[in-house]
């Protein structure tokens, strides 16, 4: 298209006044499909297919609208030419704001994607791929400060301590019924009884659970510590859900569940303690533990923050 023809085309956003004057907190686009090369502090660069939200504010109340096509094209160029890292994201936000001079003084980006990592089996030589829903949000505030938040959802298994104690009582009572009057009970008989169906006369309930963790990254962070954050949570909880599973892996998973009985409160305290030990990596954090109950029709939830109660609430949850 010729420059003359382009200049003749109407530009309503630039030529017309707002119907009602006023500033707006955020204006932009949601669910932009965007493949990006992501930089993880442990695993290096890998491609992810993200959905992106991009917004700027309107601080000039006389402006009718923003330049959405500019934001879209900037994102497309970023996807083609740059790696998504914390350092590059800070720089890119300034370009977004430069594209809306005299209109905006704040800009924000929100990436959401499944981060897929290869995970080794607990005992066997096999491995498989596991996905972790992940979000990244970066906001350039008035004055030039950039806040970057990282969120991951980590699935794991939780076995109820109360249910385990009740199951043990029933097993004990059944054992007493079967052998209560015996004085000549051999070790072989006890072992055979435990290995029989009566050894699982009652079993505790367990369920898939989710640790949803948001962290504020330090201003000096350059690469995203996604794998590192996931491993901090999985090591604290000890019962991550598995990918490739043979019998020896399933048995080890059962052992780990038996050695890590936990209410949602226990899981929240474990995760909070693990994140508190990473003082130099995470400026702040907020976590939500959800046990998707197999006993109840509702879920059990615990929430914890680094600071005092009612402190940091992640921007991602707003």
* Chain centroid to CA 219: 20
Cβ burial, residue 83 (10 Å; 0-12/13-18/19+): middle
Task: Locate the domains of the chain by residue range.
Answer: 20-160+205-317, 162-179+186-200
Q: What is the mean pLDDT of residues 32-44?
A: 97
b vs e for 278-305, b when ≥16 Cβ sit within 10 Å of the residue's Cβ?
eeebbbbbbbbbbbebeeeeeebebebb
How many CB atoms within 10 Å of residue 108? 21
Per-residue pLDDT, 87: 94
Condensed to tens digits (0 to 9), the pLDDT of residues 112-170 reads 999 999 999 999 999 999 999 999 999 998 778 899 999 999 999 999 999 999 999 99
Q: Which CATH class is domain 20-160+205-317?
A: alpha beta
Residue of 177, 199, 275 whose CA lies nearest to 235: 275
Q: 19 pLDDT exceeds 90?
A: no
Please state, in angstroms and rounded to a whole number, the distance separating the CA atoms of residues 26 and 139. 11
């Amino acid at each position: 298209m010729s420059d003359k023809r382009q200049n003749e085309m109407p530009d309503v956003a630039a030529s017309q006044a707002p119907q009602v004057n006023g500033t707006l907190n955020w204006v932009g686009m949601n669910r932009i499909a965007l493949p990006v090369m992501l930089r993880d502090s442990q695993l290096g660069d890998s491609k992810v297919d993200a959905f992106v939200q991009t917004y700027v504010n309107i601080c000039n109340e006389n402006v009718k609208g923003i330049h959405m096509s500019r934001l879209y094209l900037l994102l497309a160029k970023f996807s083609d030419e740059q790696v998504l890292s914390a350092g590059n994201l800070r720089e890119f936000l300034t370009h977004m704001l430069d594209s809306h001079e005299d209109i905006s003084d704040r800009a924000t980006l929100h990436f959401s994607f499944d981060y897929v990592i290869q995970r080794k089996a607990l005992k066997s030589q096999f491995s498989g791929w596991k996905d972790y829903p992940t979000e990244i949000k970066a906001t350039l505030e008035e004055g030039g400060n950039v806040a970057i938040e990282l969120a991951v959802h980590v699935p794991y298994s939780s076995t109820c301590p109360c249910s385990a104690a009740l199951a043990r009582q029933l097993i004990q009572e059944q054992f007493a019924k079967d052998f209560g009057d015996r004085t000549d009970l051999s070790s072989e008989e006890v072992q055979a009884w435990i290995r029989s169906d009566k050894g699982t006369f009652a079993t505790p309930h367990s369920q898939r659970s989710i640790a949803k963790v948001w962290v504020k990254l330090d201003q000096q962070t350059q690469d995203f510590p996604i794998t590192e954050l996931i491993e901090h949570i999985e090591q604290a909880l000890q019962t991550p859900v598995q990918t490739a599973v043979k019998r020896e892996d399933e048995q080890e998973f059962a052992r780990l569940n038996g050695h890590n009985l936990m209410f949602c409160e226990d899981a929240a305290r474990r995760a909070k303690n693990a994140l508190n030990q990473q003082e130099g990596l995470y400026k702040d954090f907020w976590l939500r533990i959800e046990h998707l109950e197999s006993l109840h029709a509702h879920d059990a939830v615990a929430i914890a923050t680094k600071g005092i109660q009612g402190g940091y609430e992640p921007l991602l949850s707003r």
